[in-house]
Amino acid sequence: MSEPLLDVTGLAKHYPVREGLILAKQVGTVRAVDGVSFSVKRGETLALVGESGCGKSTTARLVLRLIEPSAGTIRFEGADVTRITGAAQRAMRRRMQIVFQDPYASLNPRLTVADTIAEPMAVHGIGDAASRRKRVEELLSLVGLRSFHAQRYPHEFSGGQRQRIGIARALSVQPDLVVCDEPVSALDVSIQAQVVNLLKDLQRRFGLAYLFIAHDLAVVKHVADRVAVMYLGQIVEIGNKADLFANPRHPYTRALLAAIPHPDPQRRGQVKPLGGDVPSPMNPPPGCRFHTRCPFAQDRCRSEAPALRPMADGHEAACHFAETLPPAGLDFAGGLSEAAARRLALYARARAA
């Protein structure tokens, strides 16, 4: 079997919480990421999914070495990213790029689009001014923008267009891995679809690997090869998309899936809310972190933390009772109505014409 492109083991990030302006006494620790392991193969998409504050962006920043881990190792093609320095580190940095959620905040308003896209090439000393200009032209067309856009500024673009600029910038240095931190969450659905299609297309063409962060499971199901579900700084379930969606074993994964309203009024009333709120990552509950909200919690769950274990189909879940839970009772049959599907086919045909 081929070596994974990215291999993360036992990754943790703990932030001290201080109180008091002068003495700044440490009063606690935010366990933003608390022992996370996963790998990403060349050309594949691993999605990290979970609710706000579960540690997705912190994981992304750790992988990119934008922040220092409190524990754990990050290997890129087998080399320990946390140990290399100097030229080797710069070379590694080039091969991992990021696309951010907020296309408004993530672009420098004073740089033209051309300079924005060329900046990583300049930082990494790739090419000269002329070859970079040429590459910018290529990249603009690659992400569906026009060459006259090069001399404009970010504020002249819509959200979807800015996200395209961010993608062009990330691709400028030919990375192997692109960390996408909620790249479509801030976009309207029609634009979201454009950007998702673009990301998938670019992946096919360049063999990119994506660490794709999202909180929308329908988007995840559409883009991912494998999925990791996070809760309070930890991965509670991970595996191939097909296995995980067909047979979710962790009660939290099931709760997430059951909470999504389907765009189909015939299935109204099937949404099942999960009770309670996410506990503070400063005081994660003892034992299984999900026990305060889990409908299946037993005494054992309150004291003993469950480890990620392989299930029958090979995907992994961290629940003491994963094998004996009642059926999830999730119904993903349905799809578009006949009339809608027929007209959508006409739409696609008319557009292609």
Ligand X SMILES: Nc1ncnc2c1ncn2[C@@H]1O[C@H](COP(=O)(O)OP(=O)(O)OP(=O)(O)O)[C@@H](O)[C@H]1O
57 binds, among another protein, ligand SF4, Mg ion, none (CB under 5 to 8 A by kind): Mg ion
- We find the least distance from the C-beta atom of residue 228 to another protein, in angstroms, to be 17
Where in 189-228 is the site for Mg ion (CB under 5 A)? none
Look-up of token digits 């191939």? 240
204 binds, among ligand SF4, ligand X, another protein, none (CB under 5 to 8 A by kind): none
What is the per-residue binding string for another protein in 121-160, x denoting contact by CB under 8 A?
Answer: -------------------------------------xxx
Q: How far apart are CA 319 and CA 301, in angstroms?
A: 9
Q: Could you list the residues that contact ligand SF4 (CB under 6 A)?
A: 251, 288, 290-291, 294, 296-297, 301, 306, 319-321
Number of residues lying near another protein (CB under 8 A)? 64
DSSP-derived secondary structure for 185-204 = TTS-HHHHHHHHHHHHHHHH
Are 69 and 82 in contact by the 8 Å Cβ rule? The answer is yes
HSE toward the beta carbon, residue 144, CA cutoff 13 A? 16
> Which of 263, 286, 295, 310 touches another protein (CB under 8 A)?
263
What is the per-residue binding string for another protein in 43-72, x denoting contact by CB under 8 A?
Answer: --------xx--------------------
Q: How far apart are CA 244 and CA 222, in angstroms?
A: 13
Q: Could you list the residues that contact ligand X (CB under 6 A)?
A: 15, 30, 32, 50, 52-58, 215, 281
Q: Kindly state the tokens that stand for 201.
A: 């297309």
Among residues 290, 286, 288, 219, which one has the least CA distance to residue 254? 290
Q: How far apart are CA 252 and CA 254, in angstroms?
A: 5
Report how many helices (DSSP H) and strands (DSSP E) the chain contains, helices first: 11, 12
For binding to another protein (CB under 8 A), which residues are involved?
A: 51-52, 158-161, 188-194, 196-197, 200, 215-219, 221-222, 245, 255-269, 271-275, 277-278, 332-337, 339-340, 342-344, 346-351, 353
For binding to Mg ion (CB under 5 A), which residues are involved?
A: 57
